[in-house]
Amino acid sequence: MLDKSVGCLVGAAVGDALGGATETALPEQIRARYGGWVEGIVPPYHADWATARPLAPYHKGDGHITDDTLMTHALVRVYARKRDHLDAFDVVDRLVPDLIERVVYIPDLEREGVAFHRLAAAERWLVTRLHHAHADPREAGVGNIVNCGAAMYMAPVGIVNAGDPAGAYAEAADLTGAHQHSYGREAAAVFAACVAAAAAPGATVDDVVAAALDLARDGTRAAVDAVVKEARGHTDWRTAIPALRAAVAPFDTVGEEYHSPGLGARRPSRVHAIEELPVAIGMLVVAGGDFRAAVLGAVNYGRDADSTATMAGAIAGALGGSAAVPAQWSAAVAEASRTDLVQPAATLAEVAAEVFARDRERFARRAERFGGLA
């Protein structure tokens, strides 16, 4: 359990840090900027990162984790406090206070502060709707920008429900009702299920794909299916990048001009999907489960590269355990980000064991009562 948890959460953080450098860029722009494919930790895409994007003056690259990992670690702390399954009310009671009160080091701002200061608009929605507007947590996500903001930090739900993809799906769907809706919420549930499937002993890439296709609904299922079918014809992430983009494009509302999405972008839909999760699963298939290849494929795919690589890294890390994550990368990311990447994973493994013991007791009581009925 500990090995799977470390592989998953450290793998997610490494993917996040590597992908942060290439986020929002297109594959051809990435190669032009770095003189070829990115194959490790690189400097920021914009050398003048502090002024190039005034609205988002973040020092991404150089091994810095982003809000994906900040949110993931915050969710682990929520699990550590409750020591049981989570629901939407835990978001308002435990997660939001963590985001607005707890001081943490924010690597891509290069200072300490509350995580809220680093969150994007779709994640600040949590605070607006739950802390200020006092919305019902179960439906607070309705009206938000539909994106991968909830999916990007759902790996801990998969670890707590290790070996039970359906349980992970249900818990993440409940939990993220406070944050997202439509296909953004669906992606969060499916990603948690993928991690739960990957964390099972002896799990394979096919097990992860099967869990995703079994549980996903509507456009999310169609997008995963289309991307996986295309991915099975590739073994090199370099050649797979344009093919996977073409496969997911019909389901993506953002469009080819990533910096200038149209009016239909990020709106609720039953036929569309976020781009990041299907591509992460696709890169996992192309890589045959290999961590390095899956993450580098996501990093060089560009667009929302940090979140895509976070998901690919979490699933590949859960499949292969801690040894799957290159130690050189994880050590460099931990040092650059001034963040202990292992401790949250160790804490989560302890919580997962406690939750399983609670589940076993709960099921025993139900079995006794049901037996009485029979």
pTM (two decimals): 0.98
Q: What is the pLDDT of residue 272?
A: 98
Q: In which band, very low, low, confident or very high, does the pLDDT at 97 lie, cut at 50, 70 and 90?
A: very high
Q: How confident is the model at residue 314 (pLDDT cuts 50, 70, 90)?
A: very high
pLDDT score, position 372: 95
pLDDT at 322: 98
Contacts of 277 (CB under 8 A, 6+ apart): 148, 151, 187, 190, 191, 220, 223, 224, 311
Mean pLDDT value of segment 203-212: 98
Task: Give the Cα separation of 332 and 350 in Å (integer).
Answer: 26
Who contacts 30 (Cβ-Cβ below 8 Å, separation ≥6)?
Answer: 22, 37, 38, 45, 300, 302
Residue 194 class from Cβ within 10 Å (0-12 exposed, 13-18 middle, 19+ buried)? Answer: buried
What's residue 287's pLDDT? 98
CATH number, domain at 103? 1.10.4080.10
Judge residue 362's burial from the number of C-beta atoms within 10 Å of its C-beta, 0-12 exposed, 13-18 middle, 19 or more buried.
exposed
Q: What is the pLDDT of residue 365?
A: 97
pLDDT tens digits, residue range 39-85? 999 999 999 999 999 989 999 999 999 999 999 999 999 999 999 99
Nearest to 184 by CA among 219, 137, 135: 219
Q: List, for residues 255-306, the tens digit of each pLDDT value.
A: 999 989 999 999 999 999 999 999 999 999 999 999 999 999 999 999 999 9
Residue-wise pLDDT for 219-257, tens only, equals 999 999 999 999 999 999 999 999 999 999 999 999 999
How many CB atoms are located within 10 Å of the residue 13 CB?
33
Read off the tokens for 10: 């450290």
State the residue range of the domain holding 191: 2-373
Joined tokens for residue 124? 């600040």
**Could you report the per-residue pLDDT of 176-190, keeping only the tens digit for each?**
999 999 999 999 999
Domain count, the chain: 1
How many CB atoms within 10 Å of residue 47? 10
pLDDT above 70: percentage of residues in the chain: 100
pLDDT of residue 163: 98
Mean pLDDT of 101-114: 98
Mean pLDDT calculated for residue range 324-336: 98
The pLDDT score that the predictor gives to residue 374 is 83
